[in-house]
Structure 1
């Protein structure tokens, strides 16, 4: 299950506070770092072999909630103008990834190892991860420090 953590760490990041005016670069970087840490913490159990598929399903449910919470947090933010589009792409990617993890969570909840393997294989080709990675790579090119986002 370490693959799931690696996939997420490579594509994602994450958040803090809410609403308000346009964030400065440093405020936005801090927000990304906070959200990224929350996601990493949620996915940490997935870096080790779960004791059961039921445990995997439970861990994935928490991870999905953290991905959605980070997406919501970043969606509420008004990022610096130069990364506005990247932020929107990242938010969409986090939400899509949370949705894509549902097939893995469902397979684990059904205690079906074959479905789990298929879901993992499908995640390797995740468009959400590719898009999120592209957004974070673009932010890095613009000089942003992303914390855990962008690998």
Structure 2
């Protein structure tokens, strides 16, 4: 009797990335190089072995593979704005109906709300990733300093 494996939480994301890469006829190496990640990391992403990929990496992969950034963010477990990466009910009604369909949002406010463009979000993600890396270096320096001071006190 074989034991069924529970799919990893990011397996659907990995399957989506792999399918897009293969549909474009891209090798793991070429797609990874263009996204500025290692081919090993892309393999891990496609296999669902990366628990929480960074938004910056997802943004780069979305650009390289022609995927929707918000879809990847959602598949990776991030909270995404309602309707991001999927057609809204109003858009679906527009597509299905030959008659004009009025959006409830258009009645509520004359000015439509706009989400930041994905490239702006990518820049924000890059900045946050840089801050995260700096914090890691600061933590390492503090730990080294703490270890050094322990050595002096011994």
Q: TM-score range by the shorter chain?
A: 0.3 to 0.5
Q: What is the TM-score with the length of structure 1 in the denominator? A: 0.33
TM-score (normalizing by structure 2): 0.33
Higher helix share: 1
Query: Quick check: which has more Rg, 1 or 2?
Result: 2
